[in-house]
Amino acid sequence: MKVFKFIGFVFLLILLGALFADEIPKILVINSNASVEKYHVAQEEFKKTIAFPVLEINLEEQKWKISKVEELLYDEYPDLVYCIGAKAYLIANKYISERHIVFSSIVNWERWPVAGKTYGVSNELHPGMQLTLYRYVFPAVRKIGILYSKRYNREWFENTLKFSRGMGIEIVGKPVHKSMHVISSLKELIPDIDALWVVSDPIVMPDKDVIKSIFNTCEVHHIPVFTYHDAFAEYGAMLIVSVDDPTTGRQAADVASQVLSDNMGEDRVQLPAGSRIVFNLKKANAYGMQYNEEALSTVNQIIE
């Protein structure tokens, strides 16, 4: 009798374990390149925040060939995939678009196909917010130039134009089709602008040499540069408004949790929840730029 009770107890434990295991969702993280600091930070914060264990893939590791990733996707068939960067997203969207997908760190996500169960955190801050900040810090700035490629930023640029109307700011855009034309396009733009807004665009900024040339050209003409990442401080950017990378990872985890609990709202792609502002006061004084001293209270870091 005791043997039968013991067998029954063991069977019950196995059954409960199986039922409990079924309740734990399978989550896969695909990172386009974990050696990129912002990608790595987003992944680590996601793992810390999400309440479930995750399986991780770094596409830059040699062992993760596309065929092997495809095989793993089908074998594991995860309930949710968190994709960091465009390369990771395109793979998940190609092979298991019917599953829940959450993305972040994609330049202008609107240019990519989005399936019915796809959610994400935008890589770009709201353009209206940034324009408002630019005007608040530099009231005299009226014309802001933007170099962009239609391939990567057409949708973003058109949205920015819409938000600029009625704000007392004129956006002067210059489309760039090839990287070799960046500096010549910039020189054509400079006579018509008060500042240059540098946005994330692989064609406009293909490498460090082009980036240096952009900033050097603006330096010669005393054109302030507004941009999106702290790394540009060393090149002489005057105002940096960047997405907070740790917050992006935590926000993506929150989106994933809402999706898995079937509690996601109507806003399928969210704007970044955190930002950081760096103001180069030394450069502003060197250029003789008029700035709003009250605005400095909103700045996270001042370079003097």
Nearest residue to 109 via CA among 294, 272, 299, 236: 272
pLDDT of residue 168: 85
pLDDT at 8 over 60: no
Average pLDDT over residues 279-300: 94
Nearest residue to 253 via CA among 50, 60, 36: 50
Average pLDDT over residues 157-163: 92
pLDDT of residue 82: 98
Nearest residue to 57 via CA among 89, 25, 105: 89
pLDDT at 12 over 60: no
- Domain of 28, CATH number, reads 3.40.50.2300
What are phi and psi for residue 200, nearest 5 degrees? -65, 115
Average pLDDT over residues 134-163: 94
Average pLDDT over residues 233-246: 94
- Positive or negative, the Cα torsion across 76, 81, 84, 88? positive
pLDDT at 197 over 50: yes
- Rounded Cα distance between 214 and 142, Å, is 21
Same domain for 120 and 255, yes or no, is yes
Average pLDDT over residues 260-271: 88
DSSP 132: H
Same domain for 111 and 231, yes or no, is no
Q: Model confidence at 264, in pLDDT bands (50, 70, 90)?
A: confident
Average pLDDT, rounded, for the chain: 90
Same domain for 102 and 199, yes or no, is no
Average pLDDT over residues 76-96: 95
Q: Model confidence at 1, in pLDDT bands (50, 70, 90)?
A: low
Same domain for 35 and 184, yes or no, is no
Question: How many domains are there within the chain?
Answer: 2
pLDDT at 152 over 60: yes
pLDDT of residue 64: 86
What's this model's pTM, rounded to 2 decimal places? Answer: 0.81
pLDDT at 304 over 60: yes
pLDDT of residue 267: 83
> Could you count the other beta carbons within 10 Å of the beta carbon of residue 60?
14
List pLDDT tens digits, range 23-65: 789 999 999 999 999 999 999 999 999 999 999 999 999 888 8
Q: Model confidence at 187, in pLDDT bands (50, 70, 90)?
A: very high
For residue 265, give both structure tokens.
Answer: 């709202």
Same domain for 53 and 118, yes or no, is yes
Same domain for 75 and 113, yes or no, is yes
List pLDDT tens digits, range 95-141: 999 999 999 999 889 888 888 899 999 998 999 999 999 999 999 99
Same domain for 258 and 134, yes or no, is no
Nearest residue to 248 via CA among 12, 38, 11: 38
Same domain for 90 and 175, yes or no, is no
Same domain for 228 and 283, yes or no, is yes
Average pLDDT over residues 83-89: 96
- Positive or negative, the Cα torsion across 281, 283, 285, 289? negative
Between the alpha carbon of residue 273 and those of residues 105, 119, 201, 241, 243, the distances in Å are 13, 15, 22, 13, 8
Same domain for 175 and 287, yes or no, is yes
pLDDT at 198 over 80: yes
pLDDT of residue 20: 46
Same domain for 180 and 290, yes or no, is yes
Angle at alpha carbon of residue 130, lines to 127 and 132, rounded to 5°: 110
Residue 279's H or E segment, with its range, is strand 275-280
Percent of residues in the chain assigned helix, strand, coil, to nearest 5: 50, 20, 30
- Positive or negative, the Cα torsion across 180, 178, 157, 245? negative
pLDDT at 199 over 90: yes
Q: Provide DSSP, 196-223.
A: EE----TTT--SHHHHHHHHHHHHHTT-
Boundaries of domain holding 16: 2-124+247-270
The percent of residues in the chain predicted with pLDDT above 70, rounded, is: 93
SS3 (DSSP) at 4: helix
Same domain for 84 and 95, yes or no, is yes
Residue 269's H or E segment, with its range, is strand 269-270
DSSP 44: H
